[in-house]
Amino acid sequence: MPSLPINEELLSAKMVERVDSAHKNDFGELLVCAGSKYMTGALVLATSSALRSGAGLVMAFAPEDALDPVRFNCPCALTKAWGEDVSDTLKQASKLLTKCSAVAIGPGLDEEDPRSLALLELFINEAKALVIDAGGLNILSKHNELMPALKSRKMRGLNPAVLTPHIGEMRRLLKGDVTEESCEAFAVENTCLLVLKDSKTKIYTPHHDKTYELNRENSGMAKGGSGDVLTGLIGGFLAQGMKTCTSGIAGVYFHSKAGIIASYGLGKRGMLPTDVIACLPEAFEEIGW
């Protein structure tokens, strides 16, 4: 089926109004479950991007030895450490879920930590809105027992999950070749919004009625950490109450647009994912968001 282009016209039609008399609780709270001792940057990038998305509150939820960089680099974020074991960590997470309107899980997770698997299972089963990336996707690909809960989210009154794999992660999820047909089938079979990251990003919807494509190549985005920025951005939009598909489309568009703005000022070779985050406000302003 032909893909609809992700462009300014599409995003202008999907703009969600912000009322100036609103307060922070009107714009939701995102729980960012990410990071580990040796991958603290992923947590900082996802949290920073979520803060720029317009979400009212952003909570970084990670092992204690991953949180100091967030405290130093993201003073506007809240922080909460995991428990020492699985049981305590799940208790903490369950309490946080009563407050949070969306969860982003995956960037920089320690895939061998049993707490990571337990948290992913909890969020698939209970998070109102959810985006899964990176380590979360790799854990999912190894644990087929989680797929029925992912598929049944909508039937249980939860928003379909957003999955944001790059080609390698998608290959692991499919356990085979990444093709147009296999990606469409995966999104429908698992009732999820699939954002396939590549030089041309493609979005597959759960109902096989539409696909979307962003054809705007930028080698400056081909750097570690760019995907973490996208995860935080989509999560932040979900937290604000935007529909699942709108959040995915908006995240992909503004991520790309901010990257283009960064490349104009810094060049594609020298720009960093942190520069993309810094350029998000200008990207929003350009189309009246």
Tens of pLDDT, residues 177-188: 999 999 999 999
Candidates 85, 76, 77, 45; CA nearest to 61 is 77
Tens of pLDDT, residues 85-100: 999 999 999 999 999 9
| Lowest-confidence pick of 7-21, 59-73, 176-190 | 7-21
**Distance (Å) of CA 179 to CA 147, 202, 248:** 20, 11, 20
Give the Cα separation of 199 and 87 in Å (integer). Answer: 41
245-281 per-residue burial string, b: 16 or more CB within 10 A, e: under 16: bbbbbbbbbbbbbbbbbbbeeeebeebbbbbbbbbbe
Confidence band (pLDDT; 50, 70, 90) for 14? confident
Burial label for 167, CB within 10 Å (0-12, 13-18, 19+), is exposed
Give the Cα separation of 48 and 50 in Å (integer). Answer: 5
Q: Would you state the pLDDT for residue 211?
A: 95
The answer to whether 33 and 115 have CB atoms below 8 angstroms apart is no
**Distance (Å) of CA 127 to CA 20, 93, 122, 159, 267:** 28, 10, 8, 8, 39
The answer to whether 196 and 187 have CB atoms below 8 angstroms apart is no
Strands 29-33 and 102-105: parallel
Tens of pLDDT, residues 215-258: 999 999 999 999 999 999 999 999 999 999 999 999 999 999 99
Tens of pLDDT, residues 18-63: 888 888 988 999 999 999 999 999 999 999 999 999 999 999 999 9
The H or E element that residue 68 is part of is helix 68-73
Question: Average pLDDT in the 194-201 region?
Answer: 96
| Lowest-confidence pick of 121-135, 203-217, 255-269 | 203-217
Q: Would you state the pLDDT for residue 67?
A: 98
Q: Would you state the pLDDT for residue 208?
A: 73
Token pair in block for residue 90: 């799940």
For the chain, give the mean pLDDT: 96
Give the Cα separation of 211 and 262 in Å (integer). Answer: 28
Query: In this structure, which amino acid lies at residue 178?
Result: V
Residue 159 has pLDDT above 80, yes or no: yes
Q: Would you state the pLDDT for residue 16?
A: 79
270 beta partners? none
Greater confidence (100 vs 210) lies with: 100
Residue 120 has pLDDT above 80, yes or no: yes
Residue 1 has pLDDT above 90, yes or no: no
